[in-house]
């Protein structure tokens, strides 16, 4: 890696998987391996430290060999709660996120988000393909934690509402649109081949 600020990567696996039949999506098998393992394989080499946010099955996630932690806010509060918990635990000044149900994420995700963040002097960089932002694929500065703390304490849960209060840059990945495909349902899983 080049001489840049170090980055903690967090895999967001804290949801309930309701559209998948209330199963832990990161542990659902795709082509014989848990989806989270595919994400680890692609995302892990892009960051300096890897951690996993999971609110259930912590021991199964820990078997991948990385620290696992739950949300600090109860009630499956969504990806912002996972980011919040990660920012509180990250060892490095920048934090990148990727969801556990996107096994094909770009191999250059973090590099491109970092370039966008640095060029814009932004607090947060988020991936975008054409007219679709992908808010759970982001890179942000750890110092936004107090701001996020305040947003969540006030009852905020929507990731795009929080982003709107920061200096954000959207980084285009139009050339890699398929890489952002996430697998939310059994039908989507079937489409990519079990």
User: How do residues 139-189 score in pLDDT, each as one tens digit?
Assistant: 999 999 999 999 999 989 888 899 999 999 999 999 999 999 877 666 666
User: Model-level pTM?
Assistant: 0.90
Q: What pLDDT does residue 192 have?
A: 64
Asked whether residue 161 is domain-assigned, the answer is yes
Asked whether residue 120 is domain-assigned, the answer is yes
Asked whether residue 2 is domain-assigned, the answer is no
The CATH number that applies at residue 75 is 3.90.550.10
Distance (Å, rounded) from C-alpha 184 to C-alpha 35? Answer: 11
Asked whether residue 1 is domain-assigned, the answer is no
pLDDT band at 20 (very low <50, low <70, confident <90, very high): very low
Q: What pLDDT does residue 78 have?
A: 83
Asked whether residue 79 is domain-assigned, the answer is yes
CB neighbour class for 181 (10 Å; exposed up to 12, middle 13-18, buried from 19)? middle
Give residue 178's domain range.
7-192
Least confident residue range of 12-26, 81-95, 115-129, 148-162: 12-26
Asked whether residue 46 is domain-assigned, the answer is yes
Check pLDDT > 70 for residue 190: no
Q: What pLDDT does residue 80 have?
A: 92
> What is the average per-residue pLDDT within 45-71?
96
pLDDT > 70 fraction of the chain, expressed in percent and rounded:
88
Asked whether residue 160 is domain-assigned, the answer is yes
How is 50-116 classified by DSSP, letter by letter?
EEEEESS-HHHHHTTSS-EE--SSSS---HHHHHHHHHHH-SSSEEEEEETT-TT--TTHHHHHHHH
pLDDT band at 31 (very low <50, low <70, confident <90, very high): confident
Q: What pLDDT does residue 103 have?
A: 93
Distance (Å, rounded) from C-alpha 141 to C-alpha 148? Answer: 11
pLDDT in tens, 108-135: 999 999 999 999 999 999 999 999 999 9
CB count in 10 Å sphere of residue 116: 21
Are 113 and 96 contacting, i.e. CB atoms less than 8 angstroms apart? yes
Backbone φ, ψ for residue 73 (5° rounding): -105, 130
Backbone φ, ψ for residue 64 (5° rounding): -75, -15
Look at residue 40 and give its three-state secondary structure.
Answer: helix
CB neighbour class for 176 (10 Å; exposed up to 12, middle 13-18, buried from 19)? middle
> What is the average per-residue pLDDT within 15-21?
50
Domain count, the chain: 1
How is 121-180 classified by DSSP, letter by letter?
T-SEEEEEETTEEEEEEEEEEGGGHHHHHHHHHTT---HHHHHTTS-EEEEE-GGGGGGG
Q: What pLDDT does residue 16 have?
A: 53
Q: What pLDDT does residue 63 have?
A: 96
């Amino acid at each position: 890696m080049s001489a840049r600020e170090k980055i903690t990567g967090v895999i967001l696996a804290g949801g309930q998987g309701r559209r998948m039949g209330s199963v832990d999506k990161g542990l659902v098998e795709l082509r014989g391996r848990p989806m989270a393992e595919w994400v680890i394989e692609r995302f892990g080499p892009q960051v300096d430290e890897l951690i996993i946010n999971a609110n259930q099955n912590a021991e199964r996630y820990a078997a991948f060999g990385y620290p696992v932690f739950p949300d600090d806010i109860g009630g499956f509060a969504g990806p912002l709660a996972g980011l919040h918990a990660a920012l509180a635990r990250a060892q490095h000044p920048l934090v990148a996120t990727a969801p556990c149900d996107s096994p094909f994420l770009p191999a250059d995700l973090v590099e491109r988000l970092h370039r966008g963040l640095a060029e814009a002097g932004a607090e947060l960089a988020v991936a975008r393909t054409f007219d679709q932002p992908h808010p759970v694929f982001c890179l942000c500065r750890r110092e936004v934690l107090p701001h996020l703390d305040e947003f969540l304490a006030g009852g905020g849960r929507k990731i795009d509402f929080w982003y709107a209060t920061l200096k954000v840059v959207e980084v285009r990945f139009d050339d890699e649109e398929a890489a952002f495909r996430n697998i939310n349902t059994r039908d989507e899983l079937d489409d990519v081949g079990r």
